[in-house]
Amino acid sequence: MTLTPRVFTHAQDAFVLHAIAWLQQLPRGAWFTYDRVEFLANIGMFVPVGMIAALWLPRRWWLAGAVIAVVLSVGIELAQARFLPYRVADPRDVLSNGLGGLLGATLVGLVRSLLPVPRRQRLRARTA
Whole-number pLDDT of residue 15: 85
What are the residue ranges spanned by the domains of the chain? 33-127
* Angstrom distance (rounded) from CA 125 to CA 122: 5
Whole-number pLDDT of residue 120: 63
Quote the pTM value: 0.80
Whole-number pLDDT of residue 13: 75
Average pLDDT over residues 17-38: 91
Long-range CB pairs of 51-58 (<8 Å, 24+ gap) are 51/104, 51/105, 51/107, 51/108, 52/104, 53/101, 53/104, 53/105, 54/104, 54/105, 54/108, 54/109, 55/108
C-beta atoms surrounding 96 within 10 Å: 21
List, for residues 9-20, the tens digit of each pLDDT value. 666 778 888 889
Average pLDDT over residues 31-35: 90
List, for residues 98-126, the tens digit of each pLDDT value. 999 999 999 999 999 998 877 666 666 66
* Residue 1 binned pLDDT confidence (cut-offs 50, 70, 90): low
Greatest Cα pair distance in the chain: 62
List, for residues 48-103, the tens digit of each pLDDT value. 999 999 999 998 899 999 999 999 999 999 999 999 888 888 999 999 999 999 99
